[in-house]
Amino acid sequence: MKIATILPVLAFAFIAVNCNKIKEETKSNSEIAIKSDSIAKPVKKELPENFDEFNKKFHSDSLFQVSRVDFPIEGKHVSGFEQYNWTRKNWQFQVIPVAEKTEIEEYQHSLVKTDTLITEKFWIPNSDFEVERQFKLIDNKWFLIYYNDINL
């Protein structure tokens, strides 16, 4: 009689433990998947765009470049008495990619990189020549947000 009582209790305990495991697995999976019409769909987390790949395409494809300039862009073009802010209409295609080092010796160069912002500067000491550009990661895509081109 004792065995007849113990077996149902053990069976019940076994079922209860397994049901808890299934509930915990479902709960942890629900953080990864979103249920829609009772069909679980995985949530894809978009990875940030690789800057080196962006850099190559940005400086070789004019249509892509214009699509990745966050107009109206900060900074301006100043050359002698000519001065204007950058717009889509007066934008000049940029062909020189961002680089760790420059091969042009008369220019000073600095490059500051973080995960979300890249700032590059060129200048000639003791002159009125300076170029600065900033690229920012926005919604996992790189954009040019600042371009200052001063040549007095």
Residue whose structure tokens are 């990619």 = 97
Reported as a single tens digit per residue, the pLDDT across 75-91 is 999 999 999 999 999 99
- Give the burial string for 116-142 (b: 16+ CB within 10 Å, else e): eebbbbbbeeeeeebbbbbbbbeeeeb
Q: Give the Cα separation of 60 and 96 in Å (integer).
A: 9
Q: What is the pLDDT of residue 93?
A: 97
pLDDT mean across residues, the chain: 82
Q: Give the Cα separation of 48 and 139 in Å (integer).
A: 8
Cβ(139)–Cβ(123) below 8 Å: no
Quickly state the pLDDT bin for 2 (edges 50, 70, 90). low
Reported as a single tens digit per residue, the pLDDT across 124-147 is 999 999 999 999 999 999 999 999
CB count, 10 Å around CB of 74?
13
